[in-house]
């Protein structure tokens, strides 16, 4: 996905008086891919380089992982943090709820053999579990299709990050106001794991949207927008 996915939500935040920017992560949309796309720190550097001064960061899925690391590495640059359908550790391991390792391995193999079909599977995964899955996929595809297709190197690097990055032991160090939003029907970031993150990051707040899956801002834009407005107005 690229920054165009936020086109429906951005006006709601702009109404609060924010100057809203939608970032293309490295290798997605108009942003060039990184030479070291399988390490998280360069993604954070690229994100912060695109931001003018201290910012309120909102990151979805993999973007939320990048945003969490940014809050850890550059706390003076991050005024608040919202992670949406994201996790400090995406891959299931040692009793931790997450994406089965074999699923990520299959995607990595398919990237090398059939990129178009793999991208379609990516789209389908974003809406998996949503009551409006078909409409959600159409909305996502329509939003991102106006920008360049993702660089295969960035897709491979992103899969590596999802499989290997584990920020769980660092979460308590995030000092800025932090809201974690989840979808109860999310098949990629299971809502059953929310309480585990609550324990790791007691300084944060969590909220589960009961009818949403992995892309609440697409399937339930009004509800997601109201939750975000309430958070930002409380700062």
With 80 as the cut, is the pLDDT of residue 232 above it? yes
Residue-level pLDDT at 214: 94
Residue 24 · residue 31 · CB < 8 Å: yes
Q: What is the architecture, at CATH level 2, of domain 3-233?
A: 3-Layer(aba) Sandwich (3.40)
For tokens 């399937």, the residue is 219
Q: Where are the beta strands (DSSP E) in the chain?
A: 55-60, 78-84, 178-183, 205-209
- pLDDT tens digits, one per residue of 69-86: 999 999 999 999 999 999
Q: How far is residue 108 from each of residues 94, 101, 114, 131, 201, measured CA to CA in Å? A: 22, 11, 10, 28, 31
Residue-level pLDDT at 218: 93
End-to-end CA distance of the chain: 29
Residue-level pLDDT at 215: 94
Q: What is the DSSP letter of 173?
A: G
Residue-level pLDDT at 121: 86
**What's CA 47's distance to the chain center, in Å?**
13
**Token pair of 31 as six digits:** 């942003």
Mean of the pLDDT values across residues 32-59?
Answer: 92
- pTM for the whole thing? 0.94
- pLDDT tens digits, one per residue of 111-152: 888 888 888 888 888 888 888 999 999 998 888 889 998 998
> Could you tell me which of 204, 195, 197 has the C-alpha nearest to residue 175?
204
Q: How far is residue 107 from each of residues 24, 102, 181, 232, measured CA to CA in Å? A: 21, 9, 26, 36
Residue-level pLDDT at 117: 86
Rounded distance, CA 126 to CA 214, Å?
6
Rounded distance, CA 124 to CA 171, Å?
30
Q: Which residues are catalytic?
A: 61, 186, 214
Q: How many CA atoms lie within 13 A of 206 on its CB side?
A: 20
**Axis-axis angle for helices 40-49, 62-73 (nearest 10):** 80
Number of neighbouring beta carbons within 10 Å of residue 184? 16
Residue-level pLDDT at 126: 83
Cβ contacts of 170 within 8 Å, gap of 6 or more: 72, 88
- Max mean pLDDT among 10-24, 94-108, 118-132, 167-181 falls in 167-181
- pLDDT tens digits, one per residue of 22-41: 999 999 999 999 987 789 99
């Amino acid at each position: 996905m690229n920054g165009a996915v936020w086109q429906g939500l951005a006006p709601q935040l702009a109404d609060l008086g924010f100057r809203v920017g939608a970032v293309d992560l490295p290798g997605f949309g108009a942003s060039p891919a990184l030479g070291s796309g399988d390490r998280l720190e360069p993604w954070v550097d690229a994100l912060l380089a695109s931001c003018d001064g201290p910012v309120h960061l909102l990151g979805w899925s993999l973007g939320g992982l990048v945003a969490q690391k940014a809050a850890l590495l550059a706390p003076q640059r991050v005024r608040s943090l919202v992670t949406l359908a994201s996790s400090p550790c995406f891959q299931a391991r040692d009793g931790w709820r997450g994406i089965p390792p074999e699923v990520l391995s299959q995607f990595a193999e398919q990237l090398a053999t059939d990129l178009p079909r793999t991208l379609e599977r990516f789209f389908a995964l974003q809406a998996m579990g949503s009551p409006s899955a078909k409409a959600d996929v159409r909305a996502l595809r329509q939003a991102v299709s106006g920008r360049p297709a993702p660089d295969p190197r960035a897709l491979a690097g992103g899969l590596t990050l999802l499989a290997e990055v584990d920020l769980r032991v660092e979460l308590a160090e995030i000092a800025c106001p932090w809201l974690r939003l989840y979808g109860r029907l999310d098949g990629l970031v299971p809502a059953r794991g929310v309480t585990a993150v609550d324990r790791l990051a007691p300084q944060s707040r969590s909220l589960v949207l009961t009818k949403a899956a992995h892309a609440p801002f697409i399937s339930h834009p009004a509800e997601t927008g109201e939750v975000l407005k309430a958070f930002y107005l409380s700062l």
